[in-house]
């Protein structure tokens, strides 16, 4: 007997058997349906989470090197040793931009916190950024309206600013933001641009609660001796290490560090953060899938149980089939197909239920149900059927025809 016709016959038998026991099959299916729904939802949530991770990581630019006074990884002793380091200067940034060959753009920035007000409306604890004309590109930002700071804004230290979307909406809910005046602490500024919405960072930090002013203005009226960060966007991600080495050489030369002395600056990068995020994301995914997988497991036990019942009930049928010439394999396939049919049906039903739920989840957390997840869900449901149906099917296949025929 060929496998194909064996399989076809098995599908027909499975179908007839399920139709004869609709309620029972339906109830058994429920466990798998719940399992598939929870696994699928967990899958969509994880995909959504990963997408959010990626977006956040793009926001903090993985391909950027940060030249700063201190390393992000310093312990306390190193901190004491390095706290007397000289500040970086705006001139440093210009020189780096001129000398570095492996980077596509260099910008300089400094940060602080301030209060922004328009008329009587006030926003405290706003993230204040001193940027230059290259920061838009280096920081990977985009604008929803207006323009970014220009070279002449920077050179002249003009009183202009670019607002984060949160501030723009808060102060100018009815539009008309470009050209309006805002106050940062005591500084009067004209809004020239609005940034596109970036959303919240994982910590809940609102990236859109931000105001950007020319770095020159920043040093003059906002923070007298700021800590600058020189940001260098590397041309090619694979040359990250070379670029870092090049920048290090340039900075040592610029700051005249003697060859026998350690760097008096640090070049930071997001690797650590990226790795951290990946690790956290991986853990969340593993734990989540494990927990939702448990429900699928419970469903699988239900299938196994019902298949044992089905085999016991149909002992006589198994005997007849064996007497007529069914081999072990034939009977095995018959019951495996039956179990897999139940779980596949459950899987499809689960997906049908999970899909609208995904749309609901999507309102709170970016969630999507990609096609590969649908495929995996179906494969998993069939596998669950095959795995949990195996023991009962094996028992059926090994039955002695004489005993099986005697059963009532």
Partner 1 sequence: MPLIQIHDLTRRYVMGTETVHALRGVSLSIERGEYIAIMGPSGSGKSTLMNLLGCLDSPSSGYYELNGVNVAHMDDNELAEIRNREIGFVFQSFNLLPRSDSLHNVELPLIYAGIPSDERREQAVEALTNVGLADRMHHKPNELSGGQRQRVAVARALVNNPSIVLADEPTGNLDSRTGEEILGLFETLSRRGNTIIVVTHEEEVAQHARRIIRIRDGLIAADEVNPNPRAAMKFAAALSAPASS
Sole window of 111-119, 162-170, 342-350, 395-403 interacting with partner 1 (rule: CB under 8 A)? 395-403
Backbone angles phi and psi of 184, in degrees to 5:
-110, 115
Nearer to partner 1 (CB atom), residue 1 or residue 352: 1
From candidates 142, 155, 185, 400, binder to partner 1 by CB under 8 A? 400
From candidates 240, 285, 405, 407, binder to partner 1 by CB under 8 A? 405
Assess contact for 191 and 161: CB atoms under 8 A.
yes
Task: Give the number of other CB atoms < 10 A from CB of residue 104.
Answer: 15
C-alpha 328/C-alpha 392 separation (Å) is: 13
C-alpha 58/C-alpha 132 separation (Å) is: 20
Sole window of 56-64, 146-154, 201-209, 393-401 interacting with partner 1 (rule: CB under 8 A)? 393-401
For the CB of residue 22, give the shortest distance to partner 1 in the complex, in Å: 13
Distance of CA 169 to the CA centre of its chain: 27
For the CB of residue 395, give the shortest distance to partner 1 in the complex, in Å: 14
Q: What is the chain's alpha carbon radius of gyration, rounded to the nearest angstrom?
A: 33
Nearer to partner 1 (CB atom), residue 12 or residue 365: 12
For the CB of residue 310, give the shortest distance to partner 1 in the complex, in Å: 13
C-alpha 254/C-alpha 95 separation (Å) is: 8
Assess contact for 388 and 311: CB atoms under 8 A.
no
User: Does 5 interact with partner 1 (rule: CB under 8 A)?
Assistant: yes
Coil, strand, or helix at residue 144?
strand
Sole window of 1-9, 78-86, 94-102, 238-246 interacting with partner 1 (rule: CB under 8 A)? 1-9
Nearer to partner 1 (CB atom), residue 56 or residue 334: 334
Assess contact for 331 and 18: CB atoms under 8 A.
no
Nearer to partner 1 (CB atom), residue 179 or residue 325: 325
C-alpha 30/C-alpha 46 separation (Å) is: 24
Assess contact for 130 and 218: CB atoms under 8 A.
yes
Sole window of 14-22, 77-85, 189-197, 212-220 interacting with partner 1 (rule: CB under 8 A)? 14-22
User: Does 368 interact with partner 1 (rule: CB under 8 A)?
Assistant: no
User: Does 23 interact with partner 1 (rule: CB under 8 A)?
Assistant: no
Nearer to partner 1 (CB atom), residue 126 or residue 404: 404
C-alpha 402/C-alpha 23 separation (Å) is: 32
User: What does DSSP assign to residue 159?
Assistant: S
Size of the site for partner 1 (CB under 8 A): 26
Tokens in use for 356? 């609208």
For the CB of residue 373, give the shortest distance to partner 1 in the complex, in Å: 37
For the CB of residue 392, give the shortest distance to partner 1 in the complex, in Å: 18
For the CB of residue 403, give the shortest distance to partner 1 in the complex, in Å: 10
User: Does 402 interact with partner 1 (rule: CB under 8 A)?
Assistant: yes
Nearer to partner 1 (CB atom), residue 21 or residue 50: 21
C-alpha 169/C-alpha 306 separation (Å) is: 59
User: Does 16 interact with partner 1 (rule: CB under 8 A)?
Assistant: yes
Task: Give the number of other CB atoms < 10 A from CB of residue 73.
Answer: 9
For the CB of residue 312, give the shortest distance to partner 1 in the complex, in Å: 16
Nearer to partner 1 (CB atom), residue 88 or residue 399: 399
Cα torsion angle, 70, 73, 79, 82, sign = negative
Taking CB under 8 A as the criterion, which residues in 162-221 touch partner 1? Answer: none
Nearer to partner 1 (CB atom), residue 139 or residue 321: 321
Sole window of 16-24, 67-75, 163-171, 343-351 interacting with partner 1 (rule: CB under 8 A)? 16-24
C-alpha 227/C-alpha 249 separation (Å) is: 21
From candidates 9, 169, 263, 362, binder to partner 1 by CB under 8 A? 9
Coil, strand, or helix at residue 314?
coil
Assess contact for 130 and 111: CB atoms under 8 A.
yes
C-alpha 378/C-alpha 142 separation (Å) is: 40
Binding-site string for partner 1 from residue 300 to residue 339, where x marks contact by CB under 8 A and - marks none: ----------------xx-xxxxxxxxxxxx---------
Query: Which residues of this protein are in contact with partner 1, per CB under 8 A?
Result: 1-2, 5, 9, 16-17, 20, 316-317, 319-330, 398, 400-402, 405
């Amino acid at each position: 007997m060929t496998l194909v016709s064996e399989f076809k016959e098995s599908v027909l038998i499975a179908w007839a058997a399920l139709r004869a026991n609709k309620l029972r099959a339906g109830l058994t299916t429920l466990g798998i349906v719940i399992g598939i729904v929870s696994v699928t939802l967990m899958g969509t949530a994880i995909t959504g989470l990963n997408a959010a991770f990626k977006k956040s990581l793009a926001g903090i630019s993985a391909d950027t090197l940060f030249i700063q006074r201190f390393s992000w990884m310093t312990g306390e002793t190193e901190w004491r040793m390095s706290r007397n380091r000289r500040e970086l200067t705006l001139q440093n940034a210009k020189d780096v931009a001129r000398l570095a060959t492996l980077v596509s753009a260099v910008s300089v920035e400094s940060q602080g916190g301030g209060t922004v007000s328009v008329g009587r409306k006030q926003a405290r604890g706003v993230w204040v950024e001193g940027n230059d004309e290259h920061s838009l590109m280096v920081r990977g930002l985009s604008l929803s309206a207006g323009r970014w700071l220009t070279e002449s804004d920077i050179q002249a230290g003009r009183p202009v600013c670019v607002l984060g979307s949160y501030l723009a909406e808060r102060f100018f809910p009815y539009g008309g933001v470009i050209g309006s005046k805002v106050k940062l602490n005591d500084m009067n500024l004209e809004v020239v641009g609005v940034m596109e919405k970036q959303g919240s960072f994982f910590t809940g930090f609102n990236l859109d609660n931000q105001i950007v002013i020319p770095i020159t203005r920043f040093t003059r009226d906002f923070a007298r001796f700021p800590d600058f960060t020189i940001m260098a966007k590397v041309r090619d991600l694979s040359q990250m290490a070379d670029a870092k080495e090049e920048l290090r050489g340039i900075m040592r030369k610029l700051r005249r560090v003697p060859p026998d002395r350690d760097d008096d600056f640090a070049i930071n990068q997001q690797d650590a953060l990226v790795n951290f995020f990946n690790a956290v994301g991986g853990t969340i995914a593993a734990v989540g899938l494990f927990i939702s997988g448990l429900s699928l497991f419970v469903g699988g036990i239900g299938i196994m149980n019902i298949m044992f019942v089905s085999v016991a009930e149909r002992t006589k049928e198994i005997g007849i089939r064996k007497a007529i010439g069914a081999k072990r394999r034939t009977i095995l396939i018959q019951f495996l197909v039956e179990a897999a049919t139940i779980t596949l049906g459950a899987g499809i039903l689960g997906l049908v239920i999970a899909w609208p739920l995904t749309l609901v989840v999507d309102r709170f957390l970016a969630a999507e149900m990609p096609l590969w997840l649908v495929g995996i869900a179906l494969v998993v449901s069939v596998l669950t059927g095959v795995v949990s149906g195996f023991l009962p099917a094996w028992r059926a296949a090994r039955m002695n025809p004489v005993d099986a025929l005697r059963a009532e």
